Amino acid sequence: MKKDVLKAVEDKAPAYIKLADSIWDTPELCFKEFKSSAMQMALLGREGFLVTKGLAGMSTAFVAEAGKGRPIIGFLGEFDALSGLSQDAGVAVQQTSTPGANGHGCGHNLHGAGAMLAAVALRDVLKAHGVEATVRYYGCPAEEGGSGKTFMTRAGVFDDLDVALNWHPSSFSTVKAFPSLAVIQAAFRFTGKAAHAAAAPHMGRSALDAVELFNVGVNYLREHMPDQARIHYAVTDSGGTSPNVVQARAEVLYYVRAPDIHETKELFQRVKKVAEGAAWMTETTLEVSTSRGCSNNIYNKVLDDVMYDNLLQLGPPPFDDVDREFAAEIRKTFSEEDVSFNALNFGFPSQSSKVLSDDVVREAPQLLGGSSDMGDVTWVAPTTQYFGACYAIGTEFHTWQLVAQGKTPAAHKGMIHAAKVLAATAIDLIQNPVIIEKAKENLKLMKSNRPYSCPIPPEVQPPSYAEAC
């Protein structure tokens, strides 16, 4: 069946390349991916999948299902873009015909289309061979700043999965087993009392003073928190621009991160105490509003081994000289430090002489400094993730260079290759169900019998937007 599924990916690929390019042409921000999700749902509907939308209170979240019985294999795909990253396609200089517009700076136009291609090819082959299994594709919105998968996980949409398969466009081909930092995002709003800062300063209670004291207190807290924890903040409302007015309102937005979601929640409570102290010192009132959060990734060695074996069998994507010629032009926009950091981040010691990766690597688990809502999925379902070469070496996420490469033949080849890795991995799991049971045991071990605890409070709901927006 594996040869059949690889051929099915090739046969189906043109429609999904077209889909990926159409989503690139329609960059939409988190929770508002109405056209992008509709394009995905329409194509899956034509493929005979049963589509259910509106998952977890998000109008752009959906699941498409085909087949029946066990195992239930889930493929996850994204489709949201980033603000202000508009860039013309296929040019190796920073330019755009739509200044200030959105852009696909993290490859999510490829992400969802490639996962869909794997799901449809797998369904076709299972049906042709009379093999029972349930194939699902999850359309996951708002990865960029919205924690869409966290809301979906909280709603239980992944609970019955036997396995979750994910991939992400990259500049290297690797099974990247990375623990990540969990994160909680919250706004701290202080309310005081306005007064004339010169005539009656004693009558005022400064909310801005509270924000400043809060920030100073958190900076002292840094000495007494876990080494790998991170705290960042941005003042989002300083209370006005008139120095002679005691600021009656002020707000600061915080990210609190730690290697484990339970550690993160404990650290967040300590941060809240500092805020409460600042409110006491300034006689202001405090409101804390949590808006998003992500759990840390739990890597699954059992599934990673299966995926890596398939990656070794397939090798790297089949890039050609034309692909390398354009990648070389992109490469000129990077410093050697950019290239070295990009290579080391994916487990490659040096790539100074190459412009596109023709290697594969199995990276040892290392802590990822950032956070992803994929982490929540890994807590409830055995999960493995492939990072697939689509871009010139040195290309970092959220850059104009990545946007520029989003519709190139190299990006398309990388997406097709990723679909093959995912689909071939799924075939191995379906044919060897004992692997799935071992993966579930591995997940239980990695969790150390700690239950999943969603970082977003139950009263916090995703933003609600009318589809007419």
Residues 21-48 as b or e (16 or more Cβ within 10 Å = b): bbbbebbbbbbbbbbbbbbbbebbeebe
What percent of the chain has pLDDT above 70? 97
Amino acid at 278: A
Structure tokens of 265?
């929640």
What percent of the chain has pLDDT above 90? 86
Domains and CATH numbers, the chain: 2-180+296-447 (3.40.630.10), 182-294 (3.30.70.360)
Residue 371 has pLDDT above 70, yes or no: yes
Residue 464 has pLDDT above 80, yes or no: no
- For β-strands 133-140 and 285-294, DSSP reports them as unpaired
Q: What is the predicted pLDDT for the residue at 178?
A: 72
Distance CA 295, CA 94 (A): 35
* Arithmetic mean of pLDDT, 294-309: 94
Q: Render pLDDT for 191-249 as a digit per residue (tens, 0 to 9).
A: 999 999 999 999 999 999 999 999 999 999 999 999 999 999 999 999 999 999 999 99
Element (H or E) spanning 189, and its range?
A: strand 182-191
Q: Render pLDDT for 308-361 as a digit per residue (tens, 0 to 9).
A: 999 999 999 999 999 999 999 999 999 988 898 888 877 777 666 789 998 888
Q: Mean pLDDT, the chain, as a whole number?
A: 94
The answer to whether residues 408 and 109 touch, using CB atoms and an 8 Å cutoff, is: no
Structure tokens of 285?
């009132």
Q: What is the predicted pLDDT for the residue at 278?
A: 98
* Arithmetic mean of pLDDT, 54-77: 97
The answer to whether residues 14 and 6 touch, using CB atoms and an 8 Å cutoff, is: no
Q: Render pLDDT for 377-421 as a digit per residue (tens, 0 to 9).
A: 999 999 999 999 999 999 999 999 999 999 999 999 999 999 999
The answer to whether residues 118 and 139 touch, using CB atoms and an 8 Å cutoff, is: no
Residue 458 has pLDDT above 80, yes or no: yes
Amino acid at 20: A
Residue 450 has pLDDT above 90, yes or no: no
Distance CA 304, CA 389 (A): 17
Residue 436 has pLDDT above 60, yes or no: yes
Q: What is the predicted pLDDT for the residue at 342?
A: 86
Amino acid at 141: P
Residues 340-373 as b or e (16 or more Cβ within 10 Å = b): bebbebbbbeebeebbbbeebbbbeeeebeebbb
Distance CA 117, CA 44 (A): 10
Structure tokens of 410?
């190299």
Residue 468 has pLDDT above 60, yes or no: no
Residue 160 has pLDDT above 90, yes or no: yes
Q: How confident is residue 31, by pLDDT bands cut at 50, 70 and 90?
A: very high
Out of 50-54, 241-245, 381-385, 465-469, pick the least confident: 465-469
Residue 74 has pLDDT above 70, yes or no: yes
Structure tokens of 133?
């299994």
DSSP collapsed to 3 states, 218-263: HHHHHHHCCCCCEEEEEEEECCCCCCCECCCEEEEEEEEEECCHHH
